[in-house]
Amino acid sequence: MFAITPGTAEAWRKRRKGPAYALVGNRVLYPRQSVREFMERQIRGGESTLGAALL
């Protein structure tokens, strides 16, 4: 769904920039809805249907 490196995800968490997440033990989990909402907020310009195509 979202191709980023684990290092990027960690940096986003530390800066509170990325999608909402949950800590379960020592694992970081991202609810699908949080990732979808984050991706929708990143869309800039272009066709209005682009966001729907990404999801």
Whole-Å CA distances, 15 to 20, 50, 55: 12, 27, 25
Chain segment 5-50, per-residue pLDDT in tens: 989 999 999 999 999 999 999 999 999 999 899 989 988 887 655 5
pTM confidence score:
0.65
pLDDT at residue 52, as a whole number: 60
Q: What is the pLDDT of residue 55?
A: 58
Q: Which pLDDT does position 28 carry in this prediction?
A: 94
Q: Which residue has the tokens 């729907």?
A: 52
pLDDT bin (cut points 50, 70, 90) of residue 4 is: confident
In this structure, how many other beta carbons lie within 10 angstroms of the beta carbon of residue 28? 13
H-assigned helices in the chain: 6-15, 32-42, 50-54
Asked whether 18 and 9 are in contact (CB, 8 A), the reply is yes
